Amino acid sequence: MSKSGKRYSEEFRRDAVKLLATSGQSLSAVARNLGMSSKQLRAWRDSDAPISVVREETTEQEVRRLQREVDVLRQEREILKKALAIFSDRPR
């Protein structure tokens, strides 16, 4: 007996899991919007292949967060340099 149902491409599976990871919506809401069962989407999310997509997205988010942090630290360093120059100047 063969299973009858929709066949999804690998690209669709990856995109669905990525959407689930980045949308902030619940699993059932994403599945409903895609016209599929939440059970199937959960299986894709929990399988080994889509996890790498989620990790990749998480890594990209981490890189962006760290870049913002570096920018803030550079700005703070420049402010401190200027403050040091102002306060180390002796009055005449």
> Where is pLDDT greater, at 56 or 4?
56
Residue 40: closest CA among 6, 11, 74, 89: 6
> Is residue 1, in this structure, part of any structural domain at all?
no
pLDDT in tens, 12-60: 888 888 888 888 889 999 999 999 999 999 998 888 554 555 566 678 8
**Domain contains 49:** yes
In this predicted structure, what is the pLDDT of residue 36? Answer: 92
pLDDT value of residue 38? 92
**Has residue 56 been placed in a domain?**
yes
* Boundaries of domain holding 32: 10-88
Q: What is the pLDDT of residue 48?
A: 56
Is 2 a domain residue? no
Number of domains in the chain: 1
User: Residue 45: what pLDDT?
Assistant: 86
pLDDT of residue 1: 41
Q: Residue 84 falls within a domain, yes or no?
A: yes
Question: Is 5 inside any structural domain?
Answer: no
Residue 4 lies in a domain: no
Alpha helix ranges (H) inside the chain: 10-23, 27-34, 38-46, 48-88
